[in-house]
Amino acid sequence: MKSKPTDLLAVSLYGMDGRTHNTMILFFKNSCKGVVQIVEEHKADVDIIDADAMDAKVILDHCLARQPLRPIIILSLEKLNIEHTIYVAKPAKTETMLAALTEAKDRLKKQKEKKKTILKKPEDSILDTAKVNRIKPSIEKQVPFELSSEKKFYSNPLEQKKTEKHKAAMMINEQNFSNFIGIISGIDFNDPVQWRNARYSPKQYYQGYVQSSIKIAYEKRQVVKLNSDWKPLIILPHSHELWLDFDDKQLRAFSGVELTSSPIHDVKKMTLSKVNPKEEGFSAKLDKFQDMNIFVWKLACWTSKGRYPDTLDISTPVYLKQWPNFTRLVVTPHAMRIAALLVVGPRSMLDIIRTLKVRPQYVFVFVSSAYAIGILGQSKRRVDESIEIEMPKIKSAPKKNLFSRILNKLRGSDKA
């Protein structure tokens, strides 16, 4: 009888180029018939890593940190004895692979049983209805919530040394906005007619090259290096990190240069290459790692200089998919207000300027950064254009005043 798909072990493959990946699929299809199905990373029960891949160490760290309990099978030419992993020698033989898959299955089974004994009766701890505002107060008493007996999961000791990655946010207020962001000549932001011209093309700047390199790194699942006549940037898609050996001052200066028309910089030198982490030796310099979104957000701020990307229309509504992680980002003036407003519903940039009564640069710089990290988009639906979304008017004047004073206190302008 043919096995049901549910009996198959969901496996994700890492560190393999297209050809090896296809070979492995054929191997599982023919030699390990009815045992395995290849799935995407987030759906997998088991990870299989080619340890001879150039970025194997990074991939392994990522897998261990992301899904610490998920069994990992390591394929390698040399005998490897790595904690928490199952080793299979290359070239992989059917018997050895089947044995490794059985061991992985056993580990999963044990974990399930263990979980069952720890989490008894969790019936009331799950939100059944989708919307919180639809949730009715529960009449019955909550069941005891006793996850506290569980041990901590795998923690990555190297992670805490990535100081730049976990650095607190930088708050930019109206007074130091121009100093921080730089001034763009040729546009008078006091003249609303000129707002439409406050556009820029990210493609013509370093931002564009970085963003397209990141896209390629994710598509190929490959650590890549963006070379230029400046300094290299290494992109690590598995851990959503970047590695760079330059400071913010240098980045700010470089990001503002329109590379396609620069007499100093040669865009032909802007190339992408595969990276061998062992040879590059960058992994040891942990303080040079940065979170991808934090870096791109910052880069977009400095490239935008208060303009908006030319792929967006100023009068068509934009929407925000989620709140930006403001504790780790550059927080430009009114960014939190703009985010709070857009979370309620789509609005055009012109509408945001009008509603919040803020300078256009603050809206444009926020839109540029949020768009660059992929959490903001432009509405395509006509319905979004026709619906005028009212500002939530839920707070009474005294409460508004209270919130305002709390805000002043938190921002340090109220030294009570």
Partner 1 sequence: MSQYKIIFTGPVGAGKTTAITSLSDVPMMKTDEVASDMTKERKAETTVAMDYGIMLLNGGEKIHLYGTPGQERFDFMWDILTVGGIGLVLLLDNSRADPFKDMRFFLKSFSDFIQNTGVAIGVTQMDVNTRLTIDDYHRELQELDMKIPVFSVDAREKKDVSILVQALMFSLDPGIDEV
Residues 96-135 that bind partner 1 (CB under 8 A): 118, 122, 124-127, 130-133, 135
Strands 36-38 and 9-14: parallel
* 392 counts as binding partner 1 under rule CB under 8 A: yes
* 160 counts as binding partner 1 under rule CB under 8 A: yes
* 142 counts as binding partner 1 under rule CB under 8 A: yes
**What does DSSP assign to residue 93?**
P
* 328 counts as binding partner 1 under rule CB under 8 A: yes
Nearer Cβ to partner 1 (20/156): 156
The residues, any chain, with a CB within 8 Å of residue 276's CB and separated by 6 or more, are 54
Which of 82, 101, 90 shows the shortest CA–CA distance to 20?
A: 90
Residues 203-232 that bind partner 1 (CB under 8 A): none
* 67 counts as binding partner 1 under rule CB under 8 A: yes
Tally of residues, the chain = 416
* 333 counts as binding partner 1 under rule CB under 8 A: yes
- Give, in degrees to the nearest 5, the angle at Cα 291 between 287 and 294: 115
Measured between alpha carbons, how far is 206 from 251 in angstroms, rounded to an integer?
9
Residue of the chain from 74, 339, 353, 372 that contacts partner 1 (CB under 8 A): 339
> Among the candidate windows 44-52, 93-101, 324-332, 363-371, which touches partner 1 by CB under 8 A?
324-332
- Longest Cα–Cα distance of the chain, Å, equals 76
* 344 counts as binding partner 1 under rule CB under 8 A: yes
* Contacts for 249-252: CB closer than 8 Å, 24+ residues apart: 251/298, 251/299, 251/302, 252/182, 252/302
Measured between alpha carbons, how far is 178 from 302 in angstroms, rounded to an integer?
11
| 27-66 footprint of partner 1 as x/- string (CB under 8 A) | --------------------------------------xx
Residue whose entry in the numeric block shows the structure tokens 């799950």: 126
Nearer Cβ to partner 1 (231/399): 399
Residue of the chain from 29, 93, 278, 399 that contacts partner 1 (CB under 8 A): 399
* 311 counts as binding partner 1 under rule CB under 8 A: no
Query: Under rule CB under 8 A, how many of the chain's residues touch partner 1?
Result: 79
* 331 counts as binding partner 1 under rule CB under 8 A: yes
